[in-house]
Amino acid sequence: MTDLWRLSAADLAARIASKQVSAREAATSALARLDAVNPSINAVIDHRPDDVLRQADRIDAAVAKGDRVGPLAGVPVTVKVNVDQAGFATTNGLQLQKDAIAQANNPVVENLVKAGAVILGRTNTPAVSYRWFTNNLIHGHTKNPRDPGITPGGSSGGAGSATAAGIGHIGHGTDIAGSVRYPAYACGIHGLRPTVGRIPAFNTHLPERSIGPQMTAVSGPLARTIGDIRLALQAMSARDMRDPWWVPVPLEGPPLPKRVALCVNPDGLDPVPEVVAALRDAAARLERAGWTVEEIKDAPPMQEAALLQTRLWLGDGYEAQLALAEKEGDPGALACLRGNRLKVHPFDLSQTLTRRATLTRDWLLFLEKHPLLLMPVSGELPFADQLDRKDEESFNRVWHAQLTQIAIPFFGLPGLTVSTGMVGRSPVGVQLVAQRFREDLCLAAGEAIEAGGTPPSPIDPVS
């Protein structure tokens, strides 16, 4: 029998629902894969095998009785350690939160469970989920399974690393400045940042989030196929009234012409040649699949949006965030906050939100004319690991390269990373952006790009 951990989520769920294999067999396979490869990458930082098997047995009992088991019947998935899972600590990479044991599931976790998923383990994140690199003082350093010398991305680096290495078929991540899209890019898989309001989320035992994260942070899936991204989105987006931002919008919008605008160099990003080549390759794949691709000189402004998004993210309550980081003593969190102080402090919320309305309007009008935008995920190939802590020049280089990662959340838009290939041992890919709640357009184009080839996945970690 094929190693079950290698299968797509869609294939595995179909086999379990049709009784070709059991959920316990799938869980046993996933646990064995975790034991085999996680020690070398440290992607999963907490898991309980007996509980995983109990979850699987409940799915098998439901299948045996003929009950509805959901679209993710028996599929092992991972959950990022910054969202509540009942009985586990929501550390968010902080020693200070090691005893923050959740009493109830976050809506996104609850939706995965209701869809039949088996929660395999908790994945690593940098302290306070601040960085595009993944290490912290409580859970340690996560490595990229394709090359330990490059970042696995962040802040959902554990999810990206685990999914690429075959630990779970889908990884849950969160994204306020690229934290789903960038780990997918760095690990050579796919990742969707959905529209704000698409997937409900709420941590029941922690203080209410400030307005910036409420307006711009989302949960989203990472997976090895676009089909599994689609399946995960369906499961994660189910109704939950604990999140007042959740909106009951259909997953499929009205048909639109298959047109894509290609922007190679948005607002002075100046991507490296390898990124430009990946964009032109993706555009050619779309054209071969019957899409019309129009290259445009520029999209609406992004530099100002990225600055204002950084203020919403880090400037709102900056002193309290800095005090927390200083108490924790995490070098990466401190570098992030101190390196951005002049950008974000002092913070004027009214001025920021007023300007947001103007800039968002420009983008919404642009997307009325160009329903789908193809552009870089990052201006560079995945960074050398921990590059942002090397020196001030490297810190600024990292933040410049992540322009599109930071700007898109400011408008509440969906963005999809599609992995397209390898440059040596470094993955490369592209980003698709659409109008609000038109994730379906991103996924349709993503499938056309995916058909042209992606990095082999899942993989055994390399040294």
* 155: annotated active-site residue: yes
- Mention every residue, 6+ apart, whose C-beta is less than 8 A from residue 76: 5, 26, 27, 30, 52, 117, 118, 119, 120, 168, 169
Exactly one of 22, 161, 179, 419 is catalytic; which is it? 179
Spatial separation of the C-alpha atoms in residues 56 and 22, rounded to whole Å: 8
Exactly one of 80, 161, 219, 457 is catalytic; which is it? 80
Amino acid identity, residue 266? P
* 343: annotated active-site residue: no
User: Closest Cα partner for 438 from 405, 419, 416, 406?
Assistant: 416
Q: Kindly list the distances between the CA atom of residue 221 and the CA atoms of 41, 62, 109, 194, 229, in Å, as whole numbers in the listed order.
A: 20, 25, 12, 9, 6
* 426: annotated active-site residue: no
Strands (E), 124-239: 135-136, 140-141, 170-175, 190-193, 218-223
Exactly one of 22, 155, 156, 161 is catalytic; which is it? 155
- Phi-psi category of residue 453: left, alpha or beta, with phi > 0 → left and psi -120 to 50 → alpha: left
Q: Is the peptide bond before 458 cis (omega within 30 degrees of 0)?
A: yes
Spatial separation of the C-alpha atoms in residues 125 and 43, rounded to whole Å: 9
- Mention every residue, 6+ apart, whose C-beta is less than 8 A from residue 4: 12, 21, 25, 26, 29, 30
Cβ neighbours around 72 below 10 Å, total:
30
User: 349: exposed, middle or buried (C-beta count within 10 Å: 0-12, 13-18, 19+)?
Assistant: middle
Provide the annotated active-site residues.
Answer: 80, 155, 179
